[in-house]
């Protein structure tokens, strides 16, 4: 199972990714988490990434692509994976395509978490109060949402055209959203079996 969770910042991708990956026994690979770990450890990659992250900008594709290709080459990703937060640009889509073609196929399913802008802003402001993430200030939140709309939202249409997209309402309790994802994925698997 090769999966991607896509949606605006604050839609709950990180939380849901862990739950879904657990259910399918595959690793959840979050580029945001990998960047944050590098920032905390003060690695050269972390030093480069921090500047972009703190501004709500995307880390350049070359840095991001190298990081993901390296992660996907690790043995635990061989039987499948759930990507959280990658790809976020068209160039990243093409890099992932090339990588997956080399290993026999593309993503099996892309789950879009759908949430209104006002809702995600409120959630991110709450997370700012609870966790104090350096990119959760109001200005940076607005910037991150703009960047998502400009650069990442168009990928939803790309995956819809490929016939791998399922959309899930991300508003509501965490457990309810997880159940919606499971039933959307279950439906897909059954349909694939029936074909
Ligand atoms: P996230 O935790 O997914 O919200 O990511 C936090 C930040 O990490 C983003 O705002 C970007 O600065 C950076 N980042 C994470 N994933 C990517 C990506 N695929 N491409 C570029 N930058 C990324």
The tens digit of pLDDT for each residue in 161-183 reads 999 999 999 999 999 999 999 99
Measured CA to CA in angstroms, residue 133 lies from 29, 31, 43, 121, 141 at distances of 19, 16, 19, 14, 11
Instruction: Determine the Cα–Cα distance for residues 110 and 82; give it in Å rounded to an integer.
Output: 9
Q: Is the pLDDT of residue 87 over 50?
A: yes
Q: Let me know: does 68 contact 58? Beta carbons within 8 Å.
A: no
Instruction: Determine the Cα–Cα distance for residues 71 and 64; give it in Å rounded to an integer.
Output: 11
Instruction: Determine the Cα–Cα distance for residues 187 and 145; give it in Å rounded to an integer.
Output: 30
- Residue nearest (by alpha carbon) to ligand 1 atom 8: 32
Selection from 8, 3, 2, 1 nearest residue 170 by Cα:
8
Instruction: Determine the Cα–Cα distance for residues 78 and 167; give it in Å rounded to an integer.
Output: 26
Question: Could you tell which of 9, 15, 30, 32 is best to mutate to test the pocket of ligand 1, judged by most ligand atoms within 8 Å of the CB?
Answer: 32
Q: Which residue in the block uniquely carries the two structure tokens 């093409």?
A: 94
pLDDT, averaged across the chain:
91
pLDDT, tens digit, 9 for 90 and up, residues 114-145: 999 888 998 898 888 888 777 878 888 999 99
**What average pLDDT score do residues 15-25 get?**
95
- Residue nearest (by alpha carbon) to ligand 1 atom 2: 32
The pLDDT value given to residue 137: 84
């Amino acid at each position: 199972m090769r999966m991607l969770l896509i949606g605006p910042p604050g839609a709950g991708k990180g939380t849901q990714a862990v739950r879904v990956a657990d259910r399918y026994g595959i690793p959840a690979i979050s580029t945001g988490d990998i960047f944050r770990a590098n920032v905390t450890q003060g690695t050269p990659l972390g030093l480069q990434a921090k500047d972009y992250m703190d501004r709500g900008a995307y880390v350049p594709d070359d840095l991001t692509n190298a990081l993901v290709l390296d992660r996907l080459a690790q043995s635990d990703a061989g039987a499948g994976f759930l990507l959280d937060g990658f790809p976020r640009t068209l160039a990243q889509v093409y890099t992932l395509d090339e990588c997956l073609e080399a290993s026999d196929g593309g993503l099996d399913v892309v789950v879009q978490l759908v949430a209104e802008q006002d809702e995600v802003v409120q959630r991110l402001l709450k997370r700012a109060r609870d966790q104090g993430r350096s990119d959760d200030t109001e200005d940076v939140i607005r910037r991150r949402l703009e960047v998502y709309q400009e650069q990442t939202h168009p990928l939803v249409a790309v995956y819809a055209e490929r016939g791998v997209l399922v959309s899930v309402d991300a508003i509501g309790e965490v457990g309810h959203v997880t159940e919606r994802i499971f039933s959307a994925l279950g439906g897909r698997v059954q349909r694939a079996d029936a074909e």
